[in-house]
C-alpha cells in the first residue's frame, strides 16, 4: 500500500492510497480522510460509494465532507467505482465497464476476472482499513446514484456490519431501469432472478435487519423518472414494514451541488449512529 496524496484539511489529512487488490486483480486507489481526533483515538468509519464515471477523487474534491467529518470525529473512506488497468475489460459508453462497476460480483465473461466491487467493498477494503488505520469496529455506509444503489444493497445484505446507511439519488431498482438492466445483463447474465441479489427493492422484503434507510433525492433530477424511481423502494419498504425516510428536495438535481448541500446532515446522521 502506497500513499500517493497527502493534503491538510480541517485539521486532519485527506490522503489517497494505491494498492494491489487480490479481489479485483488490479491496482486500485482509495481515499481516506483522517480527522484531527485520529491522532489520539480509534474512530468510526463512514464508507462512501461514488456513482457512474467517478473515481476516488470526485467525492473528496466536491462534497465538502471533510469539514463535517472533522466536527464529528469520523473517518471517511472512498474507494474507486471499478477496477482499473490495461488488462481490465471495458466497454464504449459511460455506464458499463471502467467507472461503472455497479458494486456487484460479476459472473459473466469478460467481466468476472476483475469486476468484483461488492466483495472488495464488503471484505477486502475494510480489512485493509482496519489493519492500517486508527479505526474502531463501528461502520456506516453511504453513496450517490450507482453508489447509493451499492450502499443500500450492501447494508441490506450484511446485517450487523453497518450501524447506519444513507444515499443520495440512488438507483433503487436496477432490475427495472435501463442503467441497471444494461449493467446486470452484462455482469450477471440474462437470468433476472440472479439480479435480485443486488436490487434494494427486492432485498427489503427479506431483510434480516431493519436498518432505517435515509434517502435524499432532488425533485429536478434529470434521471428521477427514468433511472432512479425512488417511489419503487418506498413502496417495497411500506409493504415489508421496513423503515425508510425519503426526502424529496425541491429544486435540486443530480450533481455534487446537491450532495454538498446535504452532506453535513448525512455525516451527522451517521455520527449519531456510530457513536450510539
Point out the residues that are catalytic.
145, 221, 254
Residue among 35, 123, 136 at smallest CA distance from 79: 123
Cα–Cα distance measured from residue 18 to residue 180, given in angstroms and rounded to the nearest whole number: 29
**34 exposed, middle or buried (CB, 10 Å; 0-12, 13-18, 19+)?**
buried
H-type alpha helices, the chain: 56-62, 65-72, 117-119, 125-132, 146-157, 178-188, 192-195, 200-203, 230-240, 256-274
Q: For 18, phi and psi rounded to 5 degrees?
A: -125, 140
Q: Determine which helix (DSSP H) or strand (DSSP E) holds 49, and give its type and residue range.
A: strand 43-49
Q: For 222, phi and psi rounded to 5 degrees?
A: -70, -15
Q: Determine which helix (DSSP H) or strand (DSSP E) holds 9, and give its type and residue range.
A: strand 2-9
Cα–Cα distance measured from residue 46 to residue 33, given in angstroms and rounded to the nearest whole number: 10
- Residue pair 141/46 in contact (Cβ under 8 Å)? The answer is yes
Amino acid at each position: 500500500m502506497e500513499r500517493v496524496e497527502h493534503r491538510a484539511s480541517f485539521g486532519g489529512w485527506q490522503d489517497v492510497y494505491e494498492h494491489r487488490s487480490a479481489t479485483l486483480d488490479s491496482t486500485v486507489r482509495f481515499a481516506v480522510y483522517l480527522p484531527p481526533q485520529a491522532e489520539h483515538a480509534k474512530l468510526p468509519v463512514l464508507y462512501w460509494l461514488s456513482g457512474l464515471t467517478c473515481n476516488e477523487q470526485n467525492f473528496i474534491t466536491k462534497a465538502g465532507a471533510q469539514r463535517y467529518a472533522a466536527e464529528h470525529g469520523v473517518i471517511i473512506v472512498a474507494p474507486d467505482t471499478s477496477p482499473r488497468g490495461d488488462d481490465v475489460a471495458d466497454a464504449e459508453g459511460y455506464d458499463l465497464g471502467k467507472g461503472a462497476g455497479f458494486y456487484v460480483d460479476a459472473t459473466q465473461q469478460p467481466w468476472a476476472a476483475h469486476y468484483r466491487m461488492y466483495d472488495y467493498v464488503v471484505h477486502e477494503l475494510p480489512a485493509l482499513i482496519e489493519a492500517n488505520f486508527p479505526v474502531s469496529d463501528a461502520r456506516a455506509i453511504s453513496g450517490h446514484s450507482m453508489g447509493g444503489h451499492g450502499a443500500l444493497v450492501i447494508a441490506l445484505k450484511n446485517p450487523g456490519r453497518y450501524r447506519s446507511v444513507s444515499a443520495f439519488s440512488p438507483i433503487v431498482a436496477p432490475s427495472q431501469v435501463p442503467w441497471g438492466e444494461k449493467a446486470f445483463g452484462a455482469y450477471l447474465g440474462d437470468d433476472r432472478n440472479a439480479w435480485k441479489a443486488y436490487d434494494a427493492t427486492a432485498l427489503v422484503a427479506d431483510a434480516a435487519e431493519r436498518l432505517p434507510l435515509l434517502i435524499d433525492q432532488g425533485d429536478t433530477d434529470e434521471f428521477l423518472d427514468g433511472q432512479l424511481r425512488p417511489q419503487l423502494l418506498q413502496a417495497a419498504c411500506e409493504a415489508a414494514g421496513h423503515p425508510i425516510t425519503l426526502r424529496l428536495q425541491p429544486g435540486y438535481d443530480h450533481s455534487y451541488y446537491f450532495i454538498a448541500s446535504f452532506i453535513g446532515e448525512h455525516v451527522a446522521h451517521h455520527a449519531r449512529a456510530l457513536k450510539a
